[in-house]
C-alpha cells in the first residue's frame, strides 16, 4: 500500500478488480463515488488470482503498475497490493477482514462493485458474511443485467438503504444501489481492441496507454515485438 491506513476516523471505500487493464470506467466511477460520499479514503485493490474468472492476461506486476499510473497522486486515493502479496486465490472476504481488523470495530467500510459483479455474488466465498465486515455499494453498469437474482433480492430486503451516505454512519451491514453517469467501457473490450490492432484512445489514461504499448501487452504476441508508435497516440 502506498499510504498508511487511516485510523478509523474517516470512511474507507475499497474497490477490487482484475484491472486488466484499468480504464476510465473504473477511475471515473470510483472518483464520482468518492465525490458523492465526500469524506472517504479510497483503496483500489487488484486481485492476484480471481476466484471466478480466467487468469488475467497481464501479470500482477503490470496490472499494479498500470493502476498506479492511472491513480497518480490523487488526494485520498491509494493502490493497495494486499491481494498480490497474499498466496492463492483472492477472496474479497479475506481482504475486507484485513481492512476490518485495521479499522477497528466501528470504522465505516464500504466495498464498491459494478452490477455485473453483484449478480455473481452468490458464488463468492462466504458472500453472506461480507456485510458483517463492510457495506456493499453497487454501481449500475452499461450492458449489465438490471435485475438482481431472487436470492440476492431476498437477501437485500433487510439491508438495503437508498442513500449511500447513510453507510458512513455505521461500520457495515447495508447494501445500496447507485446510478451515476455510466461509462461504457470494459477491460475485455479493450483487450479485444488491442489484439485486433484497434484504438483504445480515450478509454484509458494516456500513461496507461503508453505502458501497454511499451510492454506490448494484450497483443496476443508471444514475442516482445514492439508495436509501431504511430498506431498509438498518447492523447486521451
Ligand atoms: P472485464 O471486461 O474483463 O470483465 P472489467 O472492465 O469489468 O473487466 P474489472 O477489473 O473486472 O473490469 O472490474 C472491477 C470492478 O469494476 C467490477 O466490480 C466491475 O463491475 C466494475 N466496473 C468495471 N467497469 C465499469 C464501468 N464501466 N462502470 C462501472 N463499474 C465498472
CATH number for the domain spanning 143: value is: 3.40.50.620
Task: Indicate the pLDDT class of residue 170, thresholds 50, 70 and 90.
Answer: very high
Query: Is there a domain that residue 207 lies in?
Result: no
Whole-number Å distance, alpha carbon 44 to ligand 1 midpoint, is 12
Query: Is there a domain that residue 128 lies in?
Result: yes
Query: Is there a domain that residue 104 lies in?
Result: yes
Range of the domain at 102: 11-184
Determine contact, residues 140/115, Cβ cutoff 8 Å: yes
How many domains in the chain? 1
Query: Is there a domain that residue 58 lies in?
Result: yes
Whole-number Å distance, alpha carbon 207 to ligand 1 midpoint, is 19
Question: pLDDT, tens digit, for every residue of 72-119?
Answer: 999 999 999 999 999 888 899 999 999 999 999 999 999 999 999 999
Determine contact, residues 50/16, Cβ cutoff 8 Å: no
Q: What is the mean pLDDT of the chain?
A: 88
Determine contact, residues 93/130, Cβ cutoff 8 Å: yes
Ligand 1 site residues, Cβ closer than 6 angstroms: 17-20, 25-26, 29, 113-114, 116-117, 139, 141, 183, 185-188
Whole-angstrom distance, CA of residue 87 vs CA of residue 142 = 33
Query: Is there a domain that residue 221 lies in?
Result: no
Task: Indicate the pLDDT class of residue 9, thresholds 50, 70 and 90.
Answer: low
Whole-number Å distance, alpha carbon 235 to ligand 1 midpoint, is 23
Give me the numbers of helices (H) and strands (E) for the chain, helices first please: 9, 8
Query: Is there a domain that residue 231 lies in?
Result: no
Is the model's pLDDT at 226 over the cut of 50? Answer: no
pLDDT reported for residue 48: 87
Query: Is there a domain that residue 211 lies in?
Result: no
Ligand 1 atom 23: residue of nearest CA: 26
Chain CA centroid to CA 84, Å: 14
Whole-angstrom distance, CA of residue 153 vs CA of residue 214 = 45
Whole-number Å distance, alpha carbon 141 to ligand 1 midpoint, is 8
Query: Probe ligand 1: pick from 13, 14, 17, max atoms within 8 Å of CB?
Result: 17
- Contacting residues for 209 by C-beta, under 8 A, at least 6 apart: 200, 201, 232, 234, 236
- Is the pTM here over 0.75, yes or no? yes
DSSP 141-173: -TTS-SS--HHHHHHHTTTB-S-GGGGGGSSS-
Amino acid at each position: 500500500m502506498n499510504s498508511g491506513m487511516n485510523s478509523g476516523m474517516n470512511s474507507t471505500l475499497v474497490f477490487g478488480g482484475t484491472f486488466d487493464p484499468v480504464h476510465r470506467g473504473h477511475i471515473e466511477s470510483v472518483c464520482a463515488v468518492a465525490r458523492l460520499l465526500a469524506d472517504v479514503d479510497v483503496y483500489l485493490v487488484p486481485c492476484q488470482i480471481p476466484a471466478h474468472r480466467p487468469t488475467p492476461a497481464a501479470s500482477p506486476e503490470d496490472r499494479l503498475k498500470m493502476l498506479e499510473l492511472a491513480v497518480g497522486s490523487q488526494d485520498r486515493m491509494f493502490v493497495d497490493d494486499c491481494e498480490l502479496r497474499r498466496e492463492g486465490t483472492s477472496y474479497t472476504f479475506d481482504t475486507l477482514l484485513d481492512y476490518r481488523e485495521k479499522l477497528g470495530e466501528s470504522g465505516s467500510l464500504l466495498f464498491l462493485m459494478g452490477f455485473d459483479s453483484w449478480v455473481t455474488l452468490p458464488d463468492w466465498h462466504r458472500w453472506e458474511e461480507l456485510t458483517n465486515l463492510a457495506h456493499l455499494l453497487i454501481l449500475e453498469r452499461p450492458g449489465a443485467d438490471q435485475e438482481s437474482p431472487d436470492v440476492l433480492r431476498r437477501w437485500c430486503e433487510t439491508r438495503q438503504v437508498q442513500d449511500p451516505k447513510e453507510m458512513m454512519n455505521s461500520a457495515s451491514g447495508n447494501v445500496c444501489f447507485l446510478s451515476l453517469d455510466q461509462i461504457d467501457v470494459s477491460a475485455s473490450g479493450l483487450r479485444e481492441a488491442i489484439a485486433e490492432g484497434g484504438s483504445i484512445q480515450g478509454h484509458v489514461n494516456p500513461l496507461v496507454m503508453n505502458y501497454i504499448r511499451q510492454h506490448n501487452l494484450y497483443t496476443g504476441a508471444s514475442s516482445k515485438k514492439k508495436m509501431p508508435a504511430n498506431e498509438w497516440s498518447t492523447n486521451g
